Every structure is written in C-alpha cells, then in structure tokens.
Structure 1
Amino acid sequence: MTAPPRGRAGRPPLTEERKAETRLRIARAAVELFVAQGVVATTGEQIGQAVGVSARTVWRYFPSKESCVRPLLSAGIDLVAARLRDWLPGQPLEQLFEDEFTDAHDVPAGPDRATVGALVRLTRTEPGLRAVWLQMYDEAEPVFARALAERAGPPADDLRTTIRAAMFNAALRAAVEHYAWRTDTTAGPTTADAGTTDAATADAELVATLRSAFTVAAEGLR
C-alpha cells in the first residue's frame, strides 16, 4: 500500500507582511546600533541579536549593513507618493503633508520620525549611509513623477512632469536634512517614555520646515 504524501517539512513560509515586519525591525535595530556605536563597529551579528534573528537572516534580507536602513526610507517615499496622488486641485502644496505630522492617527506605523531623524543625521558623517540615502532619493524621483502624472494627466516621462518631480524631490530632501541636521545630534531615537511636549515641539518644527520648503517649490509646481 502506497503511503500518503507527506506534508512539507520545516517551518511554514513567511507571509509578505511578516517579511516586511522583520525587515522593518532589522532597520530600526540597525539605526539604533549605528547611533550608539557607529557603522564601522556594528556587525550583522549584533543587528540580528537585537531583533532575535541570526546574522544569516539579516544577510538574506539585506546585502550590506548600510542597506538595512532602506525600509525606513522606502516607507517614507511610498507615503509621499500616495499623498501626491491625493493632492487636490487648488490645495496649497505646503499643506499637503501637514496632517501626517499633526495627527498621530495618520502617522504610518513604519518609519517613526525619531528613528528616521537619527538616521538622516548619520548620513552626514557616514559615507555608506549617505550613499544609501542619496540612492533612495534617486529611486524616488520617477515614483514621484508617476504620482504627479496620475494627478495632472501628462505622462510620467513628459519633460514638465519630470522637472516637477525633480523639484519636489529636491525640496523634500533639503527640508528633511535641514530639520534633522539642526536637531540634537547626541539624541538617538526617542524612547517610549519620552515626553509628549518635546515630541509635539519637534513635530511643529518639522511641519514648519516642510511648509517653508514646499512654499518655495510650489512656485514651479502649480
């Protein structure tokens, strides 16, 4: 009598949602370690230990320790592109993202602002992270162009759309860097028991910086 087929041995495959969650946990842990001891001193083993996975798992998700931070940045790019697609006719550009920072319910669960701020500050002194930061913005530009094309009508490869996306991309990066580099460089990611007053003040400063940058960029985007 032929034995019935046996089920697949080993662990069940991870869902895409669980994979994304693991990638984000690795990204957060990497930034915290980079802030605490620098990129050079941080190993894949340490990053893995911080989230309860092996170094092999870290390298399965990321080709280098610097690239571990990509999920934090890509989540922000996806958020920005979504808001661009929802940009209403006649709505001031400088108001486009205000709700994302003033309403806690609208803030995405992925890239918390304290962690991303710490990461952006590191890009000023860590060449490997700077390369990842600039590469992400290079990859973001066509994403923004497609979002603007969906809103306005002209194709994403239209020269006007391409220029508008480049202007918006540059304004966004300049605003984020301007804000992050002028915050306390000795402060790492905010802990869970941090005061809400300081967080609210930081949010207000970020909103003001973004508003100023987008006010300038809006002259060429309307």
Structure 2
Amino acid sequence: MERGQTTQTNGRPSLVQRRKEALRFEIAAEAVRLFASRGVTGTTGEEIAQAVGISARTLWRHFPTKESCVLPLLSAGLESAIDQLGEWPPETGLLDFFTGLARNAVLPPATPLILDLIRMTSTDPALRAVWLQAHDDALPVLGELLARRTGGSADDLRTKVHAATLNGALRAGAEDFARRYGDDPDAAGSEIAACLLDALHAASDGLPY
C-alpha cells in the first residue's frame, strides 16, 4: 500500500483511516463528557486532548475548534439513518418503511452521549452550528439517494426540496427524541423511530398555510 493511501482496493477504509476515525470518535466522546460536566466555555481544547491522551497539536490537526470536536458523534447518528434509508425497498413508501423500522430499531451504544450532545445544541450557539453543519453535510447524500430512487437528478429543484424536507424531519425527530427520552434509560430504538416517523408525517402533510 502506498504511503497516504486511505482506501483498500476492495473499497473498504484502510487500517490507517479506521484508526483515524476511531481517534476522532474518541475525541468527540471525551469532548461531550467534558462539555456536559464543565460546560462548553469551561472546557479547553487542551483539556480534551489530555483526556484522550494526545497532544493539543494532534487535536488541532483533526479539528479546527473545540466545538467541532463533537462533529463525528453528530454525524454518526445521521449516517446511521442514511444507511438505513439505503435499505429502503423500491416498492415501499417512505412512511411505511419508517413504520417498519419503528418495530425493530436498535439504538447504537453511543446513543446516550449523542442525546446529551443534541440537547446541548439547543442552548450553545457554537454546538448548534456544528449540529447544523452535520445536516448540511448530509444534504447532498440524501439528494443522491432520492435521485437514484426516482431516476432523476440530484440537481433538480424538486429533489433538492425533498432532500431538504427529509433532512429537516430527521433533525427535528432526533431533537424531539433527545428532549423527550434523553433521561429515560429504558428508551429504545422504537421510540426514536417513532419520533422520526412523527416528523415525517408532519413533513408529508405539506404546508397547511
């Protein structure tokens, strides 16, 4: 493998890339724990680096600001939802698909941290900006997914509007779940799927104004 190569010939991430992503996820997790216990303003990037066991220089190579350290955790939840949408059968409507997910959804191990973080995005402007960035990054991926499904183009206005609507519903559903079930240790995947389904129902109802 050539130096700097990040993807294997089979399309899977290389060991170097996997280690890099694991470190970024560890940094994100420690950042959330420190933000939750000390507050965002009361936490420095150097303290996050120390908690992970790396140098501040290494931390800043991965993230431009201390708030942006949480981006991998926020992106993980979105990527999970997009991965599930990748299994969306052609003959099944979106609402029916999410109804099925609601019956069998399983929360990933990092969910408590992600929920803590999502709740913090409602009160901290810098973290809010990172949350919105995660959704902005996901928008073209959703657009391509919808375009492949319809045989259209991701650049079509209609596709862009649908992608933005789906993106907004995913964000609102996740925020609703974090608010309603964040302190409930018994909350399950079915609850977050139900919140997402409620948000999608609201989106599919159209604008009643």
TM-score range, shorter chain: 0.7 to 0.9
**Alignment match of 1:177 (pick from 175, 178, 195):** 175
Q: For 1:11-26, what aligned pairs fall within 5 Å after superposition? A: 15-26=16-27
Q: Show CA shifts across 1:68-102 (max 9, x none).
A: 01111222333333333331123242354564894
2:102/2:190 contact within 8 Å kept: no
Larger radius of gyration: 1
Distance 1:181 1:113 in 2: 13
Letter in 1 for 2:139: E
- Structure 1 vs Structure 2 CA RMSD: 2.4
Unmatched runs of 5 consecutive residues or more in structure 1: 1-13, 188-197
Aligned mates of 2:187, 2:81 — CA distance in 1: 22
Secondary structure of the structure 1 residue equivalent to 2:187: helix
Tell me which amino acid in the other structure corresponds to 2:194: A
CA distance in 1, matches of 2:20, 2:103: 27
TM-score (norm 1): 0.76
- Among 119, 123, 132, the residue aligned to 1:125: 123
Question: C-alpha displacement at 1:201, in angstroms?
Answer: 2.7
Per-residue deviation at 1:108?
A: 5.4
User: For the Cα contact (< 8 Å) 2:118–2:175, is it kept in 1?
Assistant: yes
Q: Give 2:31's aligned residue.
A: 30
Per-residue CA distance 1:108-163 (angstroms, 9 max, x = gap)? 56xx2111111110011111101111122122212210111122210101122111
Which amino acid in 2 is paired with 1:209?
Answer: C
TM-score when scaled to structure 2? 0.81
In structure 1, what residue type is equivalent to 2:193? V
1:168 is matched with which residue: 166, 169, 184? 166
Aligned counterpart in structure 2 of residue 144 of structure 1, from 142, 145, 159: 142
> Which position in structure 2 is the counterpart of 1:215?
201
Please identify, of 152-161 and 21-30, the stretch whose mean Cα deviation from structure 2 is larger.
Answer: 152-161
The one-letter amino acid of 2:28's match is A
Amino acid aligned to 1:172: L
2:63 and 2:129 mapped to 1: Cα distance? Answer: 15
In 2: Cα distance, 1:217 partner to 1:89 partner: 20
Residue pair 2:105, 2:193 contacting (<8 A) in 1 also: no
Distance 1:55 1:23 in 2: 13
Which one-letter code corresponds to 1:129 in the other structure?
L
| One-letter code aligned to 2:130 | V
Partner amino acid, structure 2, of 1:137? H
Q: What is the count of residue pairs matched by the alignment?
A: 191
CA distance in 2 between partners of 1:46 and 1:139 (Å) = 28
User: 2:88 corresponds to which letter in structure 1?
Assistant: W
